[in-house]
A = this chain, B = another copy of it.
């Protein structure tokens, strides 16, 4: 019996992804004006008092159930949709509509000696599966970016947001109905890890999986997927203050990287300081950190300068705190700083502060994280901040996309060739 249930689930999910694939071919052929107009219609409908009210009612059901289950305050906050959040979703849709269409662009073209004209042209990926936690705003964000890039979307949100997601997807379907493209947005509304695992096996129909959430969810997806996955596990970001740094610039960048929003993946978790500047820099920096309530942990050299700092363990250097905790390590050279990053970093984002252009260049060349900065805060590692428009996620694995991903990461390139009857010898 159990295997009957499994195979019926498998076949249900196969059908769902196949419908997404077939609809995807039609989305791929929509022109920019049509896609933008549908996105703006969706914004308008979501903004209408009737739809907003329905959505908030659905969300209230989710919130009530979540409270009864006793979920954390942080999770309740992520789950909640109030007028301001709905407004932000509407703004997001308008921004996506205003972005340039990434599809159909000939990125490069050349002519072969035999006269063949070869071009590489962007096309949609096809079907993108988004697996996320109980954050209903992701439902619209992810759908809109995938749709703008000509893709179908299979959404698998956290079960705690089930009523909210159903309400949102109903609204998407209402807008997609006139062109007959409802199937381009599929909601996999199941709380079941079996369902997620079945989705991850649909490599015939799904081209890419983007998981968004905690490390546990992402590891489950990465270990169970036959479909390519773009992911980042964590952001253990570093700022290295070189001996040639401008002290006040270093202070401002390190402070910004740690405390402007400590719960984000681009916040600094470890400060590396050259020993030539540590004695003067660290006491002033530490005072600022104490004022901001940051707990500091350090190695032996650090604790000689900052006796109040707790000892840092090996594990601490690997940890993404996402909180007001900071590791500090004094290093004797750029080399040692780079080796620390290679050993403990997560390939996310690292910054150097220095007035020495050669040192800056060596750091930027040798650190192979997805984002490397000289004399700027790690907090700029973000699609919007870097000018990519809205961000669908961030990749710390190197295939296809590395770093913050905008619309450009939701397309691929095919070879398009114009001939005049050429054959191969």
* Residue positions of A touching B, CB distance < 8 A: 25, 28-29, 104, 110, 112, 116, 118, 123-126, 203, 207-208, 222-223, 226, 228, 230, 246, 249, 252-253, 255-256, 260, 342, 360, 364-366, 368-377, 379-381, 385-387, 397-400, 402-404, 412-425
Contact A379 B223 (CB under 8 A): no
Contact A421 B375 (CB under 8 A): yes
Residues of B within 8 A of A104 (CB): 365
- 16 pairs across A/B with beta carbons < 8 Å? A104-B365, A116-B386, A207-B399, A223-B226, A228-B399, A252-B423, A253-B421, A371-B414, A371-B415, A373-B417, A374-B418, A375-B422, A376-B422, A381-B415, A385-B424, A403-B414
A375 to B417, CA, bound (A): 9
Contact B376 A419 (CB under 8 A): yes
Contact A423 B208 (CB under 8 A): no
Residue of B at shortest CB range from A22? B342
Interface residue from B380, B414, B419 paired with A422 (Cβ < 8 Å): B380
Contact A398 B412 (CB under 8 A): yes
Interface residue from B400, B416, B417, B420 paired with A380 (Cβ < 8 Å): B417
Interface residue from B385, B414, B423 paired with A370 (Cβ < 8 Å): B414
Say how far A387's CB is from chain B's closest CB, in angstroms: 6
Interface residue from B112, B365, B374 paired with A29 (Cβ < 8 Å): B365
Residues of B within 8 A of A123 (CB): 368
Contact A414 B368 (CB under 8 A): yes
Interface residue from B116, B400, B415, B416 paired with A399 (Cβ < 8 Å): B400
Contact A207 B397 (CB under 8 A): yes
Contact A116 B376 (CB under 8 A): yes
Residue of B at shortest CB range from A382? B424
Residues of B within 8 A of A425 (CB): 260
A208 to B398, CA, bound (A): 9
A208 to B402, CA, bound (A): 14
Residue of B at shortest CB range from A378? B424
A415 to B376, CA, bound (A): 13
Residues of B within 8 A of A365 (CB): 29, 104
Residues of B within 8 A of A400 (CB): 399-400
A416 to B230, CA, bound (A): 20
A398 to B369, CA, bound (A): 24
Contact A379 B252 (CB under 8 A): no
Contact A112 B386 (CB under 8 A): yes
A373 to B112, CA, bound (A): 14
Contact A416 B372 (CB under 8 A): yes
Residue of B at shortest CB range from A369? B414
A71 to B425, CA, bound (A): 32
**Top 5 nearest A-B pairs by Cβ distance?**
A376-B419, A256-B423, A379-B424, A400-B400, A398-B412
A421 to B29, CA, bound (A): 45
Contact B386 A415 (CB under 8 A): yes
A42 to B92, CA, bound (A): 55
Residues of B within 8 A of A415 (CB): 370-372, 381, 386, 403-404
Residue of B at shortest CB range from A260? B424
A422 to B397, CA, bound (A): 27
Say how far A72's CB is from chain B's closest CB, in angstroms: 27
Contact status of A424 and B380, CB under 8 A, knowing A375-B419, A415-B403? yes
Instruction: Indicate the member of A230, A342, A376 with the most B CB atoms within 10 Å.
Output: A376
Residue of B at shortest CB range from A110? B387
Instruction: Indicate the member of A203, A222, A253, A418 with the most B CB atoms within 10 Å.
Output: A418
Interface residue from B223, B255, B374, B418 paired with A375 (Cβ < 8 Å): B418
Residue of B at shortest CB range from A119? B364
Contact B260 A423 (CB under 8 A): yes
A420 to B373, CA, bound (A): 10
A415 to B416, CA, bound (A): 28
Residues of B within 8 A of A249 (CB): 421
Contact status of A228 and B364, CB under 8 A, knowing A112-B386, A380-B116? no
